[in-house]
Structures are given as C-alpha cells and as structure tokens.
Amino acid sequence: MKKIILSLIILSTIVGCSNNDSNEKNKEANYSVPDTLNFTIFNNKLVLNIENQGETALNYTITSSKNYVALSKKEGAVTSLNHDEITVTVDKQNLPNGKSYSKLYLNINNKKDSIVVSVTNFVEQKVTLNSDVVDAEFSKVTNQLVYVSASPSAVNILSANTGSIESITLPYAPTCVSISPDGKTAVTGHDRYISYINLINKTIIKTYPVSCYANDIVLGNNKWAYVFPAKGQSTFIRSINLSLTTDNEYEHIGERIYEGNKARLHPSGKYIYGAENNLSPMDIEKYDIQNGNAEYSYDSPYHGDYIMNGNLWFSEDGNRIFTRGKTVFKTSELRSQDMLYNGTITTETNPYTPIQWLDHSSVKNNLYLLLVADDNWNQKKLPNIYVYNDSNLSFKSKIPLEQFLVSKSESNKVFYDAEPYFVFSNSAGNNLFVIVKATGAGLAKEWAIEKINIE
C-alpha cells in the first residue's frame, strides 16, 4: 500500500514538473504569458507580451520583486484576441557576476500569476593596466607584484594587499626586472644600462652603464646585480657591484656562458641557476655569487637526457628546480646531488611544448602552471591556471581565466580569451595574481591583472 501511495506521489510530482516546464500557461482567464524572461549579458531590454486568447477583456496589474527590474507600465487592459506589450528593462550596474533571479507578479482578472526573470551579468573583475608588461616578479616578503613596462618605460608596483599601483618612470625601456630577497629594492635591465630601484620610497637609486643588452637580470642580497647578455654568443655574466659608482662591472669567473640565458636567484642567496637558450640541447647551470662576482660552478649532469627548454623556477625552499621543459630537478650544495632528475610534470599539452610560467605556494602545497598551446607557429598561452600537487606533481584542477568582453559596435560584443603571461601566489597563499593579455582583441589597453581567490 505504501508503495502504491509513493508511486502516486512520484507520478503527481512528475506531472506537476512537466506542467511547470511548459513555455506558456493557460489559465481560466484564457491568456498567455511566458514562464521566464531571460536577459543574457548582451541585452538589457525585453518585451513581455500578455496575450488575451479569450472572448472577454482582461485587466491586469504587474509588479517586480526587485528594484533592478523596471516595467514600462504597471497595469493595463487587453481586449479580446489582442495583446499588450510591456517593456522590461534591467539595470545590471549593481548585480553580481553570474545569474540573478527575481519574479514579476501578475494579477489578471483577479487571478495571480508570476514570471521568473533571469539576468546574466558579466562585469570584468580584472584590473586593466595602463601599460604593457615586459617582465614581472613577486615578493612574498612585501606582498608586492613588481612589473616593468616599455610603453611607458616604468617600474610598476602593485600592492597585493591594497590593490594600488604606483609607477617609477625609467630613463630607458626595461627588458627585465629582479627584486631583492628582502623586497625593498629591485634592478631593471636595459640596453647597455641597468637601474637600481628603491621599492620603499619609489625612486631610482642610480642608473649604471653596462657593456651589454640585458636579456635577464638577477639582484643578489649582497648589493650585486648579475646581467645576462642577449647577444655575443659565447659571453660573460656582467657582475655589477652596486655599492660602487664607477668601475663596478666585472666579467664572471670560469667557463663562459651562452647569450640568451635566463637566470634566477636560489632562495639561499648563495647561487644563481641559469637556463641556456639558443643551444641544442639546452642545459641548466649554476653560478656561485658568495664572493660578489659570479663564478661558474658547473652544469647539470645531463646532456639532452631531459627537456630543459630555456627557463627555470624554484620551489619556495629552493630544494627543487622546475624547468620550462616541465622536468623537475633536486638542488644541493653537493655537486654530486645537485640538479638531479626528480620527475616530470605531466600536462594536457604534449611533452615538448613548454610551460609559460610556474609559481609555488608552500602554504597551499600547490604548483601553479601556465601552459603553452600545442602549436609551434603560434605560441599562444592557454587561458587557464593549471594547479598541481607539489608533493607528487599530480594534477589537481584547472582554473579558467576571466575573458575580455570587447565591443565591436554599439550592439555587438565579443569575448576574447585572456592569455596569461605571469602568475604569482601571495604569502598567505589565498590569492593568485595573474598578468593577462587580450591578444588580438584590438584593445588600446590590452594588459590586465586578475586576482583569483584560492580556498
């Protein structure tokens, strides 16, 4: 008996649901109105038709449950076999992103009815930048994102805590930037110059001439800057003693490096690790900076065994190196244990496509990766943040980036993917800051920073 009653309840529920699904409602008053009004991100105005399908006149009143929905009229009469049009307008200004629901309440010849109003809103949350972005670093000590721009030539400092951006005008177009381990100073590289920057009072301490075009630069915690040349094939690191105002440039000691190296300071502050470019195979190598001037130590024990691909990042503690080629190596003060293979990050892209950027958050045990699409001719970055477990390099999730909504005319808007170039987690690990570009969207200001909350 219970089963029969249960079946009857289920049946009646299904029938009820199917009635709700119908697009139009037939009431005793014999009229027709839609069940729902759907406002997409592209429209703010719809026309609601009340159709009188009967032989007697209808009188109606209509009200909205929410203030953001406005009606062109609130009452009216519809003669037999005629219809009345009500313009429904939504004000999306204060609505959150995503869908918001409200209702229109109708009273038609003393019969109550309602229409669901669904409004989809899209307001870009990312912050549009007034410049381009050439290079960027993040200090977890000061929670500042420092990026350099060539148009205009400037060091730009984003406070991750307040969201404010301050700029320091540079005398030359910057090619690279490096923040000191304490986050208080930075150096920018240029063509034949470097600039030493005070990030606390936002001033240029001094601009020094150097004998190369700076492809990359590293600022030690010893007031020395290390410039990696863009040209010269077999060449030297330029070690610049920032405490001296003249005669402060030294060529590094030991084996030469090749032009185009990308380099990063090991968290210990004692060493720099560099990634070779423009060579085959590309290796990684280590330089000792404990005596000021850089001294070539050695390269990895491998020669083409693993894909390095020309750039590297460290885990926060410096125990691991992640290369642009997605291979992971252990570091050590002992040469026999240094730069030894530790694993490979498996991505949805093919093994030979590089990663664009990597960031490590030890608080969250996450690695954040930006991936490059599988297209050798068009090195487009995929519009997602890929999250991996730092303990075993396993894939955890993919965070899609907010798109750019761009006008093509007064009535036509088009979405463009955000192409990510840099991603940084803050010291608490609860926020990611992603520098993105609206590639090919035709925007005069095409760079932006998106802030993403991490649970």
The reply on whether position 151 binds other proteins by CB under 8 A is yes
Q: If 0-12 CB within 10 Å is exposed, 13-18 middle and 19+ buried, where does residue 224 land?
A: buried
Preceding amide of 420 cis, omega within 30: no
Stretch that binds other proteins, among 34-42, 247-255, 272-280, 433-441 (CB under 8 A): 433-441
Candidate residues 25, 267, 439, 451; the one interacting with other proteins per rule CB under 8 A: 439
CA 269, 275, 276, 280 torsion-angle sign:
positive
Type of residue numbered 3: K
Closest approach, Cβ 398 to other proteins, in A, equals 27
Q: Tell me the CA distances in angstroms from 243 to 127, 196, 247, one per residue in order.
A: 37, 11, 11
> What tokens does 157 get?
């400092």
| Residues facing 237 on adjacent strands | none
The reply on whether position 441 binds other proteins by CB under 8 A is yes
Q: What share of the chain is helix, strand, coil (3-state, %, to 5)?
A: 5, 50, 45
The reply on whether position 204 binds other proteins by CB under 8 A is no
Closest approach, Cβ 145 to other proteins, in A, equals 19
Candidate residues 96, 410, 453, 455; the one interacting with other proteins per rule CB under 8 A: 410
The reply on whether position 446 binds other proteins by CB under 8 A is yes
How far apart CA 379 and CA 373 sit, in angstroms, is: 6
Cβ atoms of 219 and 178 within 8 Å: the answer is yes
The reply on whether position 408 binds other proteins by CB under 8 A is yes
Q: Which is nearer to other proteins, 446 or 450 (CB)?
A: 446
Cβ atoms of 122 and 41 within 8 Å: the answer is yes
Closest approach, Cβ 440 to other proteins, in A, equals 6
Closest approach, Cβ 413 to other proteins, in A, equals 9
Residue whose pair of structure tokens reads 């930006």 in the numeric block: 370
The reply on whether position 171 binds other proteins by CB under 8 A is no
Closest approach, Cβ 422 to other proteins, in A, equals 14
Q: Which is nearer to other proteins, 220 or 383 (CB)?
A: 383
> What tokens does 356 get?
């664009």
How far apart CA 342 and CA 322 sit, in angstroms, is: 10
The reply on whether position 342 binds other proteins by CB under 8 A is no
Candidate residues 175, 195, 323, 353; the one interacting with other proteins per rule CB under 8 A: 175
DSSP conformational letter for 39: E
Q: Which is nearer to other proteins, 176 or 265 (CB)?
A: 176
Q: Which is nearer to other proteins, 132 or 299 (CB)?
A: 132
Q: Which is nearer to other proteins, 58 or 148 (CB)?
A: 148
Stretch that binds other proteins, among 78-86, 147-155, 234-242, 344-352 (CB under 8 A): 147-155
The reply on whether position 150 binds other proteins by CB under 8 A is yes
How far apart CA 89 and CA 46 sit, in angstroms, is: 7
Closest approach, Cβ 417 to other proteins, in A, equals 13
Q: Which is nearer to other proteins, 113 or 446 (CB)?
A: 446
Per-position x/- string for 118-137, each x denoting binding to other proteins as judged by CB under 8 A, each - no binding: --------------x-x---
How far apart CA 448 and CA 315 sit, in angstroms, is: 26
Cβ atoms of 361 and 425 within 8 Å: the answer is yes
Site residues for other proteins per CB under 8 A: 132, 134, 150-151, 153, 173, 175, 406-410, 412, 439-446
